[in-house]
Copies of this chain bind each other. A is one copy, B any other.
Amino acid sequence: MHLPLENIKVLDLTRVLAGPYCTMVLADLGAEVVKVEMPGKGDDSRAFGPYVGEESAYFMSINRNKKSITLNLKTEEGKNLLKELVKKFDILVENYRPGTMEKLGLGYDVLKEINPNLIYAASSGFGHYGPYSKRPAYDGVVQAMGGIMSITGQKGGEPTRVGPSVGDIFAGMFTAVGILSSINKRNLTGEGMKVDVSMLDCQVAILENAVARYFATGASPAPAGNKHASITPFEPFDTSDGKIMIAVGNDNLWARFCKLIEREDLTSDEKFKTNPLRNEHYDILRPMVAEKIAGKTTEEWYTMLTEGGVPCGPINDIGMVVKDEHVNARNMIQMVEHPVAGELHMPGIPIKISDCSDAIRFAAPVLGQHSVEVLGQYLGYGHEDVEKLKEGGII
């Protein structure tokens, strides 16, 4: 029952979302992640709502499975403590604006002298080189500049920001992939390296067929609404009490679907025989399907079409998602007991590995909760030493 990353030690200087999402992914798979926070304040997102009591539910959901120590990196003694810790860790992750670590005297060039095995990973808005490198970024800015907004939205409507902060989250995921690949390489070469991930680069990397389409046609795709670009019927329909997404992906499904909506006559209609023909005659096909779907509830269609093998699903709101029986059967909403905030629910771990638990091991830390433990374990500090550091404002 070893967790896959239980031999990996991560010094985590990240804040808010992109970096913390990366280290959450590593922590969820068993890595020892020690979050290094500014004394008295900590990760900015500790101040982000919504709150449960005094604690940020947002912070707690992204920082489970991590430990927290405080360390004032603006003091000489704080910097030295970090350098001592760097000797004992495999990985350092940070998501400061490029140049910040160098200004602190803690850039990769300095740290690799101290620990040549160190994997140093940096996630930033625009990356550590290139003309925009030093600029600040927010998720909204990166979604705008990276093109995803320009292809998200209702047909003919405004470019639309994606609800979750995918500018941050994709950067966190690619940083995790970069770190894990580097662990493999380090096993071959014995040497550390620097991993540089830019939020904007990651947005470009997920544009998928939009880039291929642009280069093939010379035209930039626009928001396409909820309909599939080249399959019909493949979009949401209004039911008598809501909506349902229906995905008739091929001719075989089309035959089944016509039977289930009691319009078997459409199967033999030459206008709708193949998917290209259904696309061509979308304007006459859609109203006929819509009329049928409007006649029953979402639940009725969901049951009937699913039993008939036609891919479909309700457009769930968050309350429906967290109560869904399948989501719960896969442990994707977990309850975690927090020492201050009490019982918390949060998303589970989506990577299921044979003979490995997928349970969240422990709740997010309160600020500096593990200072004594970590400084003791890694640097041999006693309670008294730690008290002195506290009095000096170092931790």
Contacts and interface: CB of A to CB of B under 8 A. Distances in A.
Contact of A220 (B29, B215, B318): B318
Contact of A208 (B25, B140, B165): B165
A17 B207 CA distance: 12
Given A185-B4, A351-B178, A154 B154 contact: yes
B202 A350 contact: yes
A347 B161 CA distance: 21
B141 A214 contact: no
Contacts of A182: 4, 353
A266 interface: no
B245 A141 contact: yes
A318 B351 contact: no
Interface of A: 2-5, 7-8, 17, 25, 29, 48-52, 57-58, 60-62, 126-132, 135-138, 140-154, 157-166, 169-170, 173-178, 180-185, 187-189, 193-198, 200-202, 204-226, 228, 230, 234-236, 243, 245, 247, 249, 306, 309, 311-322, 324-327, 329-330, 332-333, 344-356
Given A154-B158, A181-B4, A211-B318, A163 B187 contact: no
Interface-central residue, A165, A189, A208, A236, by most chain B CB under 10 Å: A208
A331 to B, nearest CB: 9
Nearest to A185: B4
Contact of A205 (B180, B214, B319, B347): B347
Given A194-B354, A196-B352, A204-B347, A313 B147 contact: no
Given A210-B164, A245-B140, A322-B214, A350 B201 contact: yes
Contact of A144 (B4, B160, B169, B314): B314
A37 B146 CA distance: 33
Nearest to A157: B154
A49 B166 contact: no
B204 A141 contact: no
A193 B355 CA distance: 8
23 contacts: A50-B216, A52-B216, A58-B209, A127-B352, A129-B330, A131-B326, A131-B329, A138-B311, A145-B316, A148-B163, A152-B160, A157-B157, A160-B160, A177-B180, A185-B353, A187-B187, A205-B332, A205-B347, A205-B349, A205-B350, A211-B346, A214-B322, A220-B318
A345 to B, nearest CB: 5
Nearest to A60: B212
7 residue pairs, one from A and one from B, having the closest CB atoms:
A151-B163, A180-B180, A50-B216, A144-B245, A220-B317, A57-B212, A201-B350
B150 A315 contact: yes
Contacts of A347: 204-205, 207, 211
B204 A350 contact: yes
Nearest to A45: B209
Given A345-B211, A353-B178, A311 B150 contact: no
A182 B352 CA distance: 11
Nearest to A345: B215
B184 A7 contact: yes
